[in-house]
């Protein structure tokens, strides 16, 4: 396990592999960054339009997209450009919408949660300024972490209620699923199960999205305190980070747990994802102002 440090890292938050590099949001100073050949690079909007960048995800248009929580906008940057900062474009969302999470869907659209206006939004990255669609429904309540399954169904966490929200890809109907804990973040394993980190109690919740109510399973461990970001590893484990326990946690298919790391390599971890090499897990240390990497070979 290693940790990359750079004087410009300031509360790094979301992280993702894109275009052969590792990209992340630097929420503490309004920049997005990447790790290329072991070096940290940071990019800012010349206009200062990026404010509190939160989540980040590669778009089907080849750009890397991110939410700008503090400026009610989405941003996009071209990772292949000689000067990526010069390619940053911002796309305005409704005032007070406070976008948090975003993912690309099989329909070619970017989907995102709008926590400030209790809505789910989407746009076509090929025509972002003219294709914005916003879904409002009483079942959407302060949506936070969001996930899109391969069939196009959009899932999110209703953070004020502690329920899971679901937008049916075919009918457009919105519904909720009650769960026995406070959900935090999403992942999906190759067998199709959705996994959610939880608090109260701390653990991992899994279910089959085709029949969630009948398949909910909660896995806990007394060492867990505040699980947050989660992802599926190529090694068969579900990986998450525990912000309060300062640990990277692996949950094996046999139900066993592995707790790895300690400060300073793991210090207030927030998000975790596989890198361009899927056997290496990358995570943000939001408190420790560093980016961590862990070899996760079976």
Phi-psi region of 255 (alpha: psi -120 to 50; beta: other; left: phi over 0): left
pTM over 0.85: yes
Spatial contact of 208 and 250, defined as CB atoms under 8 Å apart: no
Q: Give the whole-angstrom CA distance, residue 97 versus residue 88.
A: 21
Half-sphere exposure in the Cβ direction for 216 (13 Å, CA)? 16
pLDDT at 5 over 70: yes
Mind listing the pLDDT tens digit for each residue in 245-258?
999 999 999 999 99
User: What's residue 119's pLDDT?
Assistant: 98
Structure tokens at 175: 């519904």
| Percentage helix, strand, coil for the chain under 3-state DSSP, each rounded to 5 | 5, 50, 45
Distances (CA, A) of 127 to 37, 79, 110, 202, 230: 33, 19, 11, 41, 31
CATH of the domain at 125: 2.130.10.10
DSSP per residue, 71-95: TTEEEEE-TTSSSGGGG-EEEE--T
User: What's residue 231's pLDDT?
Assistant: 98
Q: Give the whole-angstrom CA distance, residue 141 versus residue 139.
A: 6
Q: Give the whole-angstrom CA distance, residue 90 versus residue 43.
A: 14
Q: Give the whole-angstrom CA distance, residue 241 versus residue 24.
A: 16
Q: In the chain, how many domains are there?
A: 1
Q: 254: Cβ–Cβ under 8 A, 6 or more apart, which residues?
A: none
End-to-end CA distance of the chain: 15
User: What's residue 298's pLDDT?
Assistant: 67
- Tokens 């409704």 — which residue? 94
Q: 207: Cβ–Cβ under 8 A, 6 or more apart, which residues?
A: 177, 193, 194, 215, 216, 217
Spatial contact of 72 and 96, defined as CB atoms under 8 Å apart: yes
Q: 18: Cβ–Cβ under 8 A, 6 or more apart, which residues?
A: 57, 58, 64, 79
In this prediction, what percent of the chain has a pLDDT beyond 90?
97
Average pLDDT, the chain: 96
Give the residue numbers spanning the domain of 136.
2-295
Rounded mean pLDDT, 234-241: 95
Q: In what order do the strands lie in the sheet with 217-220?
A: 182-188, 194-199, 203-207, 217-220
- 3-state DSSP assignment of residue 125: coil
Rounded mean pLDDT, 164-180: 95
Q: Give the whole-angstrom CA distance, residue 25 versus residue 27.
A: 6
Q: Give the whole-angstrom CA distance, residue 101 versus residue 178.
A: 21
Mind listing the pLDDT tens digit for each residue in 93-144?
999 999 999 999 999 999 999 999 999 999 999 999 999 999 999 999 999 9
Positive/negative CA dihedral, 81, 86, 89, 95: positive
């Amino acid at each position: 396990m290693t940790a990359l440090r750079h004087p410009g890292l300031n509360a790094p938050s979301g992280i993702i592999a894109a275009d052969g590099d590792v990209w992340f949001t630097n929420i503490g100073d309004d920049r997005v960054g990447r790790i290329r050949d072991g070096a940290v690079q940071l990019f800012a909007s010349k206009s200062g339009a990026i404010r509190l960048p939160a989540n980040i995800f590669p778009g089907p248009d080849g750009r890397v997209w991110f939410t700008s929580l503090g400026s009610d906008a989405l941003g996009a940057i071209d990772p292949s450009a000689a000067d990526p900062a010069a390619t940053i474009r911002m796309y305005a969302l409704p005032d007070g919408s406070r976008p948090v999470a975003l993912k690309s869907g099989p329909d070619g659209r970017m989907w995102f949660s709008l926590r400030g206006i209790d809505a789910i939004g989407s746009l076509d990255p090929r025509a972002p300024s003219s294709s914005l669609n916003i879904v409002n429904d009483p079942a959407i309540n302060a949506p936070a972490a969001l996930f899109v399954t391969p069939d196009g169904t959009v899932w999110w966490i209703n953070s004020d209620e502690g329920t899971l929200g679901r937008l049916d890809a075919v009918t457009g109907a919105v519904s909720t699923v009650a769960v026995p804990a406070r959900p935090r973040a999403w992942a999906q394993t190759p067998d199709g199960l959705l996994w959610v980190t939880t608090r109260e109690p701390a653990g991992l919740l899994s279910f089959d999205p085709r029949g969630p109510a009948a398949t909910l399973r909660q896995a806990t461990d007394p060492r867990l305190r505040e699980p947050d970001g989660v992802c599926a590893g190529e090694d068969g484990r579900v990986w998450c980070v525990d912000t309060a326990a300062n640990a990277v946690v692996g949950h094996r298919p046999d139900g066993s747990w592995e707790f790895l790391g300690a400060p300073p390599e793991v210090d207030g971890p927030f998000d975790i994802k596989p890198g361009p090499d899927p056997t290496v897990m990358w995570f943000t240390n939001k408190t420790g102002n560093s980016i961590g990497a862990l070899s996760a070979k079976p």
